[in-house]
Amino acid sequence: MAGFATDEIRGLFQDWLNQVEAEVLAYLSENGGQIDVAGIAGRLSISEKSARHIVGSLFQRGALDLGQVHGTTSQVSEAPVQDDANSGKAEATDTKDE
């Protein structure tokens, strides 16, 4: 479907994504750097899968770094981000405390 999108639609999507990423960073700032995927998803009215993708993208681009890691009690948190020995890239993992 992305191949059929016009430049205008791709630009609008990128604008939306930039706004969502800014809101995720604001949420993290308000919560002491702790990532709570369920909280992010609820605040932004997106799925937890989308929230995890956005957080991962922010880590990949360097907008978040491991120095900000504090962890949370549930969901994906900055603390469980583990270094993938094969790729050398950080990867977020699910940690559900139910």
Q: CA end-to-end span of the chain, whole Å?
A: 37
**The pTM is what?**
0.62
The answer, yes or no, to whether residue 76 has pLDDT greater than 50, is no
The answer, yes or no, to whether residue 66 has pLDDT greater than 50, is yes
Range 2-91 classified under CATH 3.30.230: no
pLDDT digits 0-9 by tens, 12-64:
999 999 999 999 999 988 988 888 889 999 999 999 999 999 999 999 998 88
Distance, in Å, from the CA atom of 10 to the CA atom of 16, rounded to the nearest integer, reads 10
Contact criterion met (CB below 8 Å) for 22 and 58: no
Specify burial of residue 30 (Cβ count, 10 A radius: 0-12, 13-18, 19+): exposed
